[in-house]
Amino acid sequence: MIRPARPDDVPAIYRLIRDLAAYERSLPAVTGTQQDLATALFGPEPAVFAHVVDSGDRIAGFALWYLSYSTWQGRQGIYLEDVYVEPDQRGRGYGRRLLTELAALCVERGYGRLEWSVLDWNAPALGFYASLGATAMDEWTVHRLTGQALEALANDRSRHADPNLD
């Protein structure tokens, strides 16, 4: 069963996030805590949303997403941050059903798109997404600021506090 996440799902979702990070060879990059996740999902102003695969005896997968906005379309969309199904649960249609649920939300709410990123070496995921009709945005390159670079740019704000300098 695919359903929206509940607060008692947070430990399972957090476990799956760590499993996904390990698969993507990035486990040390997981610095967020279960409490951070709980606050993001179920705090007073939720920043993200999640759906889970409830297989009856455990949470076997999840999709974590948030709203995006397209200035070109003039509409919101869904950005899928993570989707993961436990390896021993794959082949049962859970991944497809998670994405189907998000696609249905987009259509029902009038959102313009459902998008996500995938590592270029993840051939099984690339093949799966292509089978759904998803297209790669090959002409776009993701850019990211973190750590010291993020702080350095933020610190530039004080240098530009005088509007006469811009």
Please list, in sequence order, all residues whose beta carbon lies within 8 angstroms of the beta carbon of residue 87, skipping any fewer than 6 positions away.
Answer: none
The yes-or-no answer on residue 69 being catalytic is: no
Write the burial class of residue 78 (CB in 10 Å: 0-12 exposed, 13-18 middle, 19+ buried). buried
59-70 and 49-54 strand pairing = antiparallel
CA distances from 87 to 1, 18, 84, 112, 118 (A): 17, 14, 9, 31, 17
CA end-to-end span of the chain, whole Å? Answer: 54
Catalytic residue among 14, 84, 111, 129: 129
Write the burial class of residue 48 (CB in 10 Å: 0-12 exposed, 13-18 middle, 19+ buried). middle
Task: List, by residue number, the catalytic residues.
Answer: 129
